[in-house]
Structure 1
Amino acid sequence: MDTKKLQNKEKKSKRKEVLEKRKAIDGIIKAASAEADHLAFFQPFQKFDRNGLTLCLESGIGDQLSSPMKKYIQCLLKLNMEGPYGPEWPAEEKIKRREMVAPEARYIFIRRARGTVAKETLNDDSDECQIHWMADGDSVVGFVQYRFIVEEDIPVTYVYELQLEPCVQGKGLGKFLMQLIELIARKNRMGAVMLTVQKANVSAMHFYTSKLRYTISTISPSRVDPLIGAEKSYEILCKTFHPEAKDKLEGNSFTGEAHH
């Protein structure tokens, strides 16, 4: 009888512990999501002025996007992602349109600083040309979309999109933006930054795994089940910030070669 009572007591105690932990994680996610402008805390990251680019960053929220901004996001996604997704793109595009305007979607938009013109955009014949921007304020040349979610009982910042126009790629802007996202994640007590990468997007996979030291997560299909993973067109990458997150999301981690 005493043994049974003891077991019941232990079970109750464990249940309470699990519930308290879940409540704490929910609180962390809520607090992070309630912050309207994460960029406000990182003044050095509000401008990018190097390698011939003079850019300003600003925050945004999914359900507050203007119609021109929605159109811009759709155009840039199509430009950058139709190739890597291949025949999966029409279905994926519909999903991305829904994700784009979700109230929990957070954005960092990159705009050309007032009065600056990209040399690349002056040549209308160039494939590198900026998507034609008709909207409020200065022209936009890219964006990051991210959310605060829970993976394996760990609060994480999940980068849904990092999309830059060809004319601003290869100039350190992508690395700069991911450093900002990692700072936002740490400030908001997240255990990791995570993202999904198309295997076909070799340059993006190289960027994350080699340049930024992201690893293929334990929740990525190829690590959950190699047979299923072989059929999937993507990998899930992560960078963790503390031992519990590392244990649950990286495990015996290794890097892979496979973006967004």
Structure 2
Amino acid sequence: MEAKGVESCNNNKSKANKMKRKEKLEKKKAMDELIKVASAEKNHLSAFRHYQKNGLSACLESGTGDKLSSSLKHYIQNLLKANMEGAYGTEWPVEEKVKRREMVASEARYIFVYEALDANASELLPMSEHEGTSASCVEERRSMLGFVHFRFVVEEDLPVLYVYELQLEPRAQGKGLGKFLMQLIELIAHKNHMGAVVLTVQKANLVAMNFYTSKMRYVISTISPSKVDPWLGTQKSYEILCKSFSNDAKAILEGP
């Protein structure tokens, strides 16, 4: 009887382990499907395509890393260097090579911001309000004002939208455009059932750090080096920030 009891207990443990493995596999399959569906969408700008505020008129276009024209690649490289070389310091030559590879990856999704020739909106207008009454973004656009590079990825077994870059021209900064783009990113994350928006910020970039933590209410994530290992964190030049949209994501990425 004693041996049978042990055998029964082992069988129960085996069944429980099989159930856990099955649940884990099903969860992974569901997450992979979410990422696949979100990444398959080529245009995430169906809701908003125009911005006009604080004397700035802009129109937005979608793009993917594997479809960038040579002129867009050149523009991205130049703006990254102008905006980020100072924040990275001596790390920039190595980081620049990494960013050049990242920007043309098939997983890379873009929002390109162009200065608009003719935008009639007083604030942020849905695309439907422009249809039939104003020119398309292609017809309206002239010089570029910046871009957002983002991807749909899995972090800590959670589907998240990861912002790789948000870069604006100096003349477009301080006019609410960055906040609008981040709000748009959060809408895209919600629409595609992502658990959070995650991004990396250089510690030396105090303006960006203040923007994300104070204006956008992002917090230092539990996966950031300073939270994983405080000593290691002092050796790293960056922090990982996040904004969670579910209790599960908050518990994992933000902690108690």
Taking structure 1 as the reference length, what is the TM-score of the superposition? 0.87
- Distance in 1 of aligned mates of 2:19 and 2:177: 49
Match in the other structure for 1:2: 8
Residue 96 of structure 1, aligned match among 77, 99, 103? 99
- Distance in 2 of aligned mates of 1:12 and 1:29: 26
- Distance in 2 of aligned mates of 1:176 and 1:237: 18
- Distance in 2 of aligned mates of 1:5 and 1:167: 68
Match in the other structure for 1:126: none
Q: Aligned pairs, how many?
A: 229
Q: Per-residue CA shift, 1:49-84, capped at 9, x if unaligned?
A: 110111000100000000000000000000000000
3-state SS, counterpart of residue 160 of structure 1:
strand
Do residues 181 (structure 1) and 181 (structure 2) align? no
Residue 254 of structure 2, aligned match among 236, 250, 254? 250
Q: Aligned letter for 1:222? A: S
Do residues 20 (structure 1) and 20 (structure 2) align? no
3-state SS, counterpart of residue 39 of structure 1:
coil
Do residues 33 (structure 1) and 36 (structure 2) align? no
Q: Give 1:114 deviation, angstroms.
A: 2.6
- Distance in 1 of aligned mates of 2:77 and 2:36: 28
- Distance in 1 of aligned mates of 2:118 and 2:31: 44
Do residues 194 (structure 1) and 176 (structure 2) align? no
Match in the other structure for 1:55: 58
3-state SS, counterpart of residue 45 of structure 2:
helix
Q: Aligned letter for 2:67? A: Q
Shift >2 Å, 4+ stretches = none
Match in the other structure for 1:203: 207
Q: Aligned letter for 2:72? A: M
Q: Aligned letter for 2:80? A: L
- Distance in 2 of aligned mates of 1:239 and 1:12: 34
- Distance in 2 of aligned mates of 1:177 and 1:95: 24
Do residues 84 (structure 1) and 81 (structure 2) align? no
Q: Aligned letter for 1:100? A: M
- Distance in 2 of aligned mates of 1:61 and 1:39: 13
Match in the other structure for 1:134: none
Do residues 169 (structure 1) and 173 (structure 2) align? yes
- Distance in 2 of aligned mates of 1:180 and 1:205: 19
Q: Aligned letter for 2:39? A: S
- Distance in 1 of aligned mates of 2:117 and 2:68: 21
Taking structure 2 as the reference length, what is the TM-score of the superposition? 0.88
Identity of aligned residues (%): 66
- Distance in 1 of aligned mates of 2:223 and 2:200: 11
Q: Aligned letter for 1:221? A: P
Match in the other structure for 2:137: none
Q: Give 1:138 deviation, angstroms.
A: 2.0
Root-mean-square deviation (Å)? 1.0
Q: Aligned letter for 1:237? A: L
- Distance in 1 of aligned mates of 2:13 and 2:118: 71
Q: Give 1:115 deviation, angstroms.
A: 6.2
- Distance in 2 of aligned mates of 1:148 and 1:218: 19
3-state SS, counterpart of residue 73 of structure 2:
helix
Q: Give 1:176 deviation, angstroms.
A: 0.2
Q: Per-residue CA shift, 1:156-185, capped at 9, x if unaligned?
A: 000000000000100000000000000000
Q: Per-residue CA shift, 1:102-151, capped at 9, x if unaligned?
A: 000000000011369xxxxxxxxxxxxxxxxxxxx621110000000000
Q: Which runs of 5+ in 2 are unaligned?
A: 1-6, 120-140
Match in the other structure for 2:218: 214
Match in the other structure for 1:124: none
- Distance in 2 of aligned mates of 1:213 and 1:205: 11
- Distance in 2 of aligned mates of 1:167 and 1:35: 31
Q: Give 1:24 deviation, angstroms.
A: 0.3
